[in-house]
């Protein structure tokens, strides 16, 4: 059957409840894809659940505004966590992107 609509569920790996909800929605034909929050507290749980659901397409949710980064991201974190203040830095043209390239790459490697 031709797929006419893709329904993506965000934040796979955020919490066990989120993970179960995404899997249930996929099994019921509602959700067709999700994006993995690689720094989420329940990402290992999400990986385990996804092994039993091969029809669920999984992409990477690149995170700069929530949670603890996988590696140090100086200038983007406060007390070791990412937050919404990144928007203020962007508005001020003060994002330290060059210093945080390795942290961004680590997210991609963790997803792969």
Domain boundaries, the chain: 1-61, 64-112
CA 45 and chain centroid, separation:
14
Q: Write out the chain's pLDDT in tens, 112 residues.
A: 576 899 999 999 999 999 999 999 999 999 999 999 999 999 999 999 999 999 999 999 888 888 998 888 888 889 999 889 888 988 998 888 776 666 677 777 777 6
The whole-model pTM stands at 0.81
**40-51 core/surface letters (b: 16 or more CB in 10 A; e: else):** bebbebbeebbe
């Amino acid at each position: 059957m031709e797929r006419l609509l893709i329904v993506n569920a965000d934040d796979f790996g955020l919490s066990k409840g989120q993970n179960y909800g995404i899997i249930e929605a996929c099994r019921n034909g509602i959700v067709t894809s999700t994006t993995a929050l690689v720094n989420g507290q329940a990402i290992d749980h999400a990986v385990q659940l996804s092994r039993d659901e091969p029809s669920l397409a999984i992409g990477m949710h690149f995170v700069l505004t929530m949670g603890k980064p996988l590696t140090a991201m100086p200038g983007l974190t406060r007390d070791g966590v990412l937050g919404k203040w990144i928007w203020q830095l962007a508005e001020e043209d003060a994002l330290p992107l060059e210093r945080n390239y390795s942290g961004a790459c680590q997210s991609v490697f963790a997803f792969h």
